[in-house]
Amino acid sequence: MEALTAGPAPAPRNQMIVGATLASMATLMLTGGMLGVWALQRRQAIDTDGAWLPSSVTIPEVPANVMLIAFIAVCSFAQWAVWAAKRNDRANTVFALGATAFVAVLIVNAQAYIYSQIELSVTDGAYGSMFFAVTGTFMAMMIAGIAFSLVAAFRLIGGRIGDREILTAHAIFWYALAAVFSAIWFVVYVVK
């Protein structure tokens, strides 16, 4: 009796990529909803009071612009990590992940600088509560992204250089955060 030939190789599992894509879409939807509420609150405040931004508040624009530009570096470093891992270059992969996390910490620092310079509190009306709600949610997303970078780096340092799925998921998440901040930058820091 003849033996059967082996079946086809199983398809690669992509749970990490699917999970990161779903988390990214949830992040985009959450931010879109919050910016929609921002626009509604802004329109109502202008209709009733004639102004949305309190006259005593000036938001530093340079740190916000630097944050937007820094996302180019974050996305480049995240993609560099994917590229280096495909070539089994462990040193460059870990360096790219470290650079991603470092620039992300710089973005968090720039947002903290804005908080320290702005003369606004959460209790200062609709603008204050919406400003801190939107930017605070963004800060939480940034901290999650930094943690994602550190987890990916520790997995690679631990010897899982062949596990490139987490790096692709990592890059997807940072691309989504770049899109999120682009919208926040325009609505919160430019249009005000």
> What would the two tokens of residue 91 be?
């040193």
pTM value is 0.89
Q: What is the pLDDT of residue 1?
A: 66
The residue ranges of every structural domain in the chain are 16-48+59-191
Judge residue 173's burial from the number of C-beta atoms within 10 Å of its C-beta, 0-12 exposed, 13-18 middle, 19 or more buried. buried
Among 157, 162, 175, smallest CA distance to 12 is for 162
Q: What is the pLDDT of residue 149?
A: 96
> pLDDT tens digits for the chain (192 residues)?
677 787 788 777 788 999 999 999 999 999 999 999 999 999 999 999 888 988 888 999 999 999 999 999 999 999 999 999 999 999 999 999 999 999 999 999 999 999 999 989 898 889 999 999 999 999 999 999 999 999 999 998 887 777 789 999 999 999 999 999 999 999 999 998
Q: What is the pLDDT of residue 138?
A: 98
Class of domain 16-48+59-191: mainly alpha
